[in-house]
Amino acid sequence: MIIDELEKKLRPPEILLKLYPPKVITLADGGKMVVREAKREEIGVLLETVHPLMGVPRDFYDIVAARMYAELLGWFRYRVANEFVLVGAINGVIAGIVNSRLVDEKVGMSLHTLTINRGLRIGAQLFAAKMEHHLEFLGQKEVWIVAESPIGFRRWMIEYALENREHLFPDTRHELGGVPTYVLTRELYDAVKKDKVSGQRPVPQELLKTADVLKAPEEYPQIPGYKRSKK
C-alpha cells in the first residue's frame, strides 16, 4: 500500500520491536492460558472483547476499558508509537489483555491491564508478562507505572517494591493523566521475578494452535446476564 504524504506526517516514528515469545501458564484450576503477542489484524476481536466493559463503573473497569479501547485503536491506526499488546487466552478465548508502549529504547510506559476471568490471578500474571517483555525481551532499563485503581496500585507498589519518583514530578510524569510516577527498574524486577513471572516455554504445538484464532468471551463475570448480540 502506498501511504499518503499527510498520513505519513501523522504517524509517529517507530522502533522495530522484537516479538514476545509465547508461553503457557498452568492456572490453579488446571486450565492452560497461552500468553502471546496480539497481531494488528486481530484488532476486531480485541475491541469486541473490551467494549462491553466500558459500561461497568465498578472497580474502575469503565475507565480502563475505555482507555484501552482508545489505545488499541491508536495502535491499530498508527497513531500511538511503539505499542505492544499481549493477550492471555484459555482455549482461544481471551481471558485478559495487557498493553504497553516504549518511549524510547530505555524507557517503557506501562498502559493498561484488563482481566475478564476473575479468581485465578490472571491480571497479576499478565502484568508480570508485560514487565517481562519490556525488561527482558525488549532490553529496556525501566518501566513507568501508574494505575487507575488505588488499591491495585498500592499492591504493585508493595509487591514489586517500585521506585518512587514522585519528587521528580513534573519532569517525570506518567503520560496517563500526567501524574507523578513509580518505576520498575531491571534490578527491582530481577529481585521479584521468580515469585511474579510464571509460564513455560516453548508452548506445545497443540496448545499454541488453540490460541491461533482468538475469540471474544461469551460471558463476563462483571456483567451478570450478559449476552453478546448476534450479527
Partner 1 sequence: MRRVAITGIGHTIFGNLSDFDLVDVMGYASSEALDDAGIRKERTIIDQVIVANMGGCFLNHQAGIASSLVSRLGLEPAQAELVENGPASGGSAVKMGFAAIMSGLADVVLVTGGEIMRTVPGWEGTDFVASLLHPEAEYNYGLTLPAFGAMFTRMYMERYGLTERDLALLSVKDHENGEKNPFAHVRIPCTMEGIYESPDANVVNNFIAEPLRLYDMCPVSDGSASLIMCASDSPKMKYFKNKKPVFIVGVGSATDTHCVHERKDPLELKAVSMSAEKAYKMAGVSAKDISFAELHDAFIILEIAISEEIGFFERGKAKEAIQKGVTRITGKLPINTSGGLKAKGHPLGATGVSQVHELVKQLRGEAEKGRQVKDPKYGMAVNFGGFGNNVVTTICSKE
Partner 2 sequence: MKDIDFSVYKVEKPEVYAHKCPDCGTLYYPVPMLCRHCGARRDPSGVFFSSWEKVPLSGLKGKLLTWTRVYALPTGFDDRYLLFGIVELENGLRASGRLLVEDPEIGMKLVAKAGIVREKVGEDVYGFMFDRK
Q: Please, are residues 168 and 142 in contact by the beta-carbon 8 Å criterion?
A: no
Out of 73, 157, 207, 223, name the contact with partner 2 by CB under 8 A: 157
Peptide bond into 224 cis (omega under 30): no
Residues 64, 91: contact at Cβ < 8 Å?
no
Q: Is 125 in the site for partner 1 (CB under 8 A)?
A: yes
Contacted entry of partner 2, partner 1, none for residue 29, CB cut-off 5 to 8 Å set by kind = partner 1
Is 59 among the residues that bind partner 2 (CB under 8 A)? no
Task: Select 121 or 165, whichever has its Cβ closest to partner 1.
Answer: 121
**Which region among 73-81, 92-100, 118-126, 171-179 touches partner 1 (by CB under 8 A)?**
118-126
CB burial of residue 30 (10 Å; 0-12, 13-18, 19+): exposed
Residues pairing with 98 in the sheet:
86, 113
190 binds partner 2 per the rule CB under 8 A: no
CA distance 205 to 81: 32
Helix (H, G, I), strand (E, B) or coil at 58: helix
Q: Report what 30 binds from partner 2, partner 1, none; CB cut-off 5-8 Å by kind.
A: partner 1
Q: Does 198 bind partner 1 (CB under 8 A)?
A: yes
Type of residue at 133 = H
Beta-carbon contacts of residue 49 (< 8 Å; ≥ 6 apart):
94, 97, 116, 216, 217
Question: CA 83 to CA 104: how far, in whole Å?
Answer: 11
Dmax (CA) of the chain: 52
Restricted to residues 84-143, the positions that interact with partner 2 (CB under 8 A) are none
- If one asks whether residue 91 binds partner 1 (CB under 8 A), the answer comes out as no
CB of 187 to partner 2, least distance (A): 14
User: 27 or 147: whose CB is closer to partner 1?
Assistant: 27
Which partner, partner 1, partner 2, none, binds residue 192 by CB below 5 to 8 Å per kind? partner 2
Q: What is the nearest approach in angstroms of partner 1 to the Cβ of residue 47?
A: 28
Binding residues (CB under 8 A) for partner 1: these are 25-31, 119-121, 125, 128, 151, 154-155, 194-200
